[in-house]
Chains A and B, each alone.
Chain A
């Protein structure tokens, strides 16, 4: 009896009819598509690109402010020493 109860109720679902979509729905869909097509890029992409550009800029500024002339010279001396480069124009060591 109890089992029939839910089955009886589920039978009522057969009375639900398929319904036509409202006539203005297609117009709404086309408007939505046109709006999406007129946008250059999704908002998320634009925000992500902006954030990445800011990060690169920040890193470059950070690197510039943290470097000085002495360090560059020190680096050059180190390169000369390691590569055993000549700092004079003589071909042969006299």
Chain B
């Protein structure tokens, strides 16, 4: 079990990494906070299971964060699916029910928001592995060797995922322009 001091030290070292990675997956500050909270609680409770011989602490925390992000996205999609049974219109005013803003990434400047919102819409539609490889290399700017370690695949596999991700994105981009 971690002492409070040890946990605080880990938190201080990795809080930005976890929070920013969560933001890059969900692009919504409130959701990213929820995910970051879950991640650090898990780190506190399961620190004893981390084996430094198999993966560094940073890699382990990356993996936990990515898994929680993907779980969160799956749960959110599932809620939206069931939401089809609720009315889209306010019962009293008959006006469309307002949907809360889905895109709020504090790391994105206002002038880039529109372009990046569109890009993230495309990235979010990629298969999970391609999306992870793209986020880790192009946004987190991690070297491919580190990405391979986090994803527990070879460097060649990372390259292949990135290639396919770019092809998929290009295709989707062309479709939106048509």
**Chain A residues close to B by CB (< 8 Å):** 2-3, 5-7, 9-10, 12-22, 25-26, 28-29, 32-33, 36
The number of residue pairs between A and B whose CB atoms lie closer than 8 Å in the complex comes to 83
Per the bound structure, the CA–CA distance linking A22 and B20 in Å amounts to: 11
B86 to chain A, nearest CB (A): 27
What secondary structure prevails in chain A residues at the interface with B?
Answer: helix
Which residues of chain B are near A14, meaning CB under 8 Å? 138, 141
* Interface size range on B against A: 20 to 34
A18 to chain B minimum Cβ distance, whole angstroms, is 5
Q: Choose from B17, B41, B107, B173 the contact partner of A29 (Cβ within 8 Å).
A: B41
Q: Mark B148-178, 1 if CB is under 8 A from A, else 0.
A: 0000000000000000001001100110000
- Which of A6, A26, A28 is most buried by chain B, counting CB atoms within 10 A of its CB? A6
- Does B173 contact A5, Cβ atoms closer than 8 Å? yes
Q: Are B119 and A32 in contact (CB under 8 A)?
A: no
Nearest first, the 4 closest Cβ-Cβ pairs linking A and B are A21-B19, A21-B15, A17-B107, A6-B170
Give the CA-CA distance A55 to B139 in the complex, in Å.
54
